[in-house]
Amino acid sequence: MDLLYDHLVRARATGAVFARTVAEPPWGLRLGGSIQLAVHTVVRGRGWLWLDTPGSAVELSPGTVTLVRGGPDHYIGHEPGADCLEPEEFRARHAQAAPGDNPQATVFLCGAYQLSGEVGSGLLDALPQVMTLSAAIDDPLRDVITLLSRELVRTEPAQQIVLDRLLDLLLVLAIRNDFHRSATAPRWYRASADPRLSAALQAMHENAAHPWTVPELAAISGLSRAAFARTFREALGQAPMQYLTEWRMTLARDHLRADDLSLAQIADAVGYGSPFAFAAAFRRHHGDPPGAWRQRERATADTRSLVTHHGP
């Protein structure tokens, strides 16, 4: 197991192709900020993507992939500032266009991702608001884009499954590509490539419930206790036990939000000897006991769901 895999699995990223479009100019599409992570790639032609902020426009061209984090709305169109339609109206207007009908048409794919829980939020927070990746000749990202292009040329049986799987690959490769080249990649990602720390980090992530100690983690790393503690703090900005507590609290919040596990079961799952020890640690970390935190979070989620389904 590696740490990026662990984060992606725990984030339970689910994707769905929501627009595979041939659009003839003029065209424009507005996508709401409630989409946690949007993925755009142009198969043929050109397009532009922009936010409401001045100077935010980026060109979309074949061979590139653009990811947009949720928050503000974003727009794609034949030119920056084009009039943009809501997705349903946009699909209805361009439903009859075919790739061969107009050489000026743009063929593009949009994907929407939902990442769940604290781990998913942490992954998203590590990404820039808008990220455009251009794949090198030998980059597997280019191969995936090529496969997408071929798959979109005509309708085939089980095409939706193929597109979903390719979109999954696109997301993982894009995140990995960004983390490789970004100076602001998460510290855990950079540290996981350090042979002095990778084994200890993997051990903590694989088994957060184990009663880890600094000497035990140092032994896994092949370092003295002092050298391990110093190297860990330099790489991750916190002591090993502080990092472990943060990770345990992240897992606990996901359990409290998503599961019906009892506090005793969650305590056991994240490495506390009793529900009382877990409650005390959680309260120190969050200011509220875990039961109250769970009730508040679920009430907030219910309210949000009500607004989404019944609001204007």
Q: Residue 284: how many CB atoms within 10 A of its CB?
A: 10
Are the beta carbons of 254 and 10 closer than 8 angstroms?
yes
Quote the tokens at residue 126.
């590590």
pLDDT in tens, the chain (312 residues): 588 888 888 876 666 666 678 888 899 999 998 888 898 888 888 999 999 999 999 999 887 889 899 889 999 999 999 999 998 899 888 877 666 667 778 888 888 888 877 888 888 888 889 988 776 667 787 788 778 777 766 678 888 788 778 877 887 888 888 888 888 889 999 999 999 999 999 999 999 999 999 999 999 999 999 999 999 999 999 999 999 999 999 999 999 988 789 999 999 999 999 999 999 999 999 999 999 999 998 888 766 555 444 443
Q: Strands 14-23 and 74-77: what pairing? A: unpaired
The burial of 100, by beta-carbon neighbours within 10 Å (0-12 exposed, 13-18 middle, 19 or more buried), is given as exposed
| Predicted local confidence at residue 1, as pLDDT | 56
How far apart CA 256 and CA 114 sit, in angstroms, is: 19
Identify the pLDDT of residue 310: 41
pLDDT at 204: 96
Residues in CB range of 124: below 8 A, 6 or more apart: 36, 37, 69, 70, 115
Q: Are the CB atoms for 28 and 83 separated by under 8 Å?
A: yes
Contact 7, 182 (CB under 8 A): no
> What is the reported pLDDT for 58?
94
- Nearest residue to 161 (alpha-carbon basis) of 16, 29, 63, 1: 16
Closest by CA position to 8, among listed 209, 160, 135, 169: 169
Structural tokens at position 265: 């079961």
- Give the pTM: 0.74
Contact 44, 106 (CB under 8 A): yes
Q: What is the DSSP string of the chain?
A: --HHHHHHHHHT-EEEEEEEEEEPSS-EEEE-TT-SEEEEEEEES-EEEE-SSTT--EEE-TTEEEEEESSS-EEEESSTT---B-HHHHHHHHTT--TTT-TT-EEEEEEEEE--HHHHHHHHHTS-SEEEEE--TT-HHHHHHHHHHHHTSS--TTHHHHHHHHHHHHHHHHHHHHHHH-TTS-HHHHHHT-TTTHHHHHHHHH-TTS---HHHHHHHHTS-HHHHHHHHHHHHSS-HHHHHHHHHHHHHHHHHHH----HHHHHHHTT-SSHHHHHHHHHHHHSS-HHHHHHHHHHHHHHHHHHHHH--
* 115 touches 36 (CB < 8 A): yes
